[in-house]
Amino acid sequence: MTDIQTAQTGEAAPTGQATQAAHDADAAQLAADSIQTMPLGRALNAGLRRALQDDDRVLLMGEDIGKLGGVFRVTEGLQKEFGEQRVIDTPLAESGIIGTAIGLAMRGYRPVCEIQFDGFIYPGFDQITSQLAKITNRHEGSVSMPVVIRVPYGGHIGAIEHHQESPEAYFAHTAGLRVVSPSTPNDAYWMIQEAIASDDPVMFFEPKARYWPKGEVSLAGNPVPLHASRVARAGTEVTLVGHGAMVTMLLQAAEIAAQEGTSVEVIDLRSLSPIDYGPILESVHKTGRLVVAQEAPGFVSVGSEIAATVTERAFYSLQAPVLRVSGFDAPFPPAKVESLYLPDADRVLDAIDRSLAY
């Protein structure tokens, strides 16, 4: 307010301190307004919508993703909003979906493919590992492959055969692919947008057991980098590491351990390839103990890789062997006995006790 305005109104002009306070209050209100509570599936929907709005080159492709909105309704309403040319119902042919996406990427589009269930990805496996992962290297970097493949994966939903698998290690093993998995709605919202913005192919594994529980999503601000791991709970005695739906299980185990007097740190990997070892190693240097947990079978797995790497790089900090908790080395069982196969809080707590016993 100017001196003339002050003279006319009789009001005192705001001081610099008052102006800054008003600005801070407005910023705080804006930040509060940008935080919404929603389930992970809805957060993915919001992230896809924003990507479609921000870039006309983004296309969604998959079986029943348009009019139906996908089996898990992750793409619900997007075809109606953006049209059938950008949200495309494809034939039931995973190899054809991926092959078409590769051609579209070569012509400058940024396709996002949905594989309806984890166990359905194998018909497209050759396209992913032999073509999509290798084309950029084959052309010495002159051809980028900005393709995202969304894969609902994991157990806990009582489904039939081929609907509850954890095939992420196949793709983390494949050079040329980025592999990520969110565990929270906020990460889902931001990570799907970061994956779409990447010029490299990204395998985006969505823990379907976490589609429905709600959490806070910040629609503004700066997201955590796509390939950064994060400390989900601080602790001092044992480090737990996992990804996707397993993070919730680890947090439950950590809470029970705390009630029993043990301080446990939980790290959410978020990215399986590349893996951000910084927070993991920092935590192990502090706690001296590491338990890696996953739903997938343990043999030749992401957990195996983490156990080997931490042993190599933090050997003198370890006070006990690195322990692994995983699904069994067997095909995923019928739904009635899936609880016997999938790691639970009790199996994690048993590993914590064994680690502390050394």
Sign of the alpha-carbon dihedral angle for 248, 249, 252, 254? negative
Over residues 76-111, the pLDDT tens digits come to 999 999 999 999 999 999 999 999 999 999 999 999
Topology classification of domain 230-357: Rossmann fold (3.40.50)
Residue 24: predicted pLDDT: 55
Contact criterion met (CB below 8 Å) for 177 and 152: no
Place of tokens 């800054």: 20
36-218 and 230-357 share one fold: yes
CATH architecture of the domain with residue range 36-218: 3-Layer(aba) Sandwich (3.40)
CA distance 74 to 192: 12
163 is catalytic: yes
Over residues 263-283, the pLDDT tens digits come to 999 999 999 999 999 999 999
Residue 22: predicted pLDDT: 54
**Per-domain residue ranges for the chain?**
36-218, 230-357
CA distance 177 to 201: 6
For 19-76, the DSSP string reads: HHHHHHHHHHHHHHHTEEEEEHHHHHHHHHHHHHHH-TTEEEEETT-SSS--TT-TTT
Spot the catalytic one: 163, 173, 227, 243. Answer: 163
Residue 5: predicted pLDDT: 42
Of the candidates 58, 108, 115, 100, the one whose C-alpha atom is nearest the C-alpha of residue 83 is 58
**% of residues, the chain, pLDDT over 70:** 91
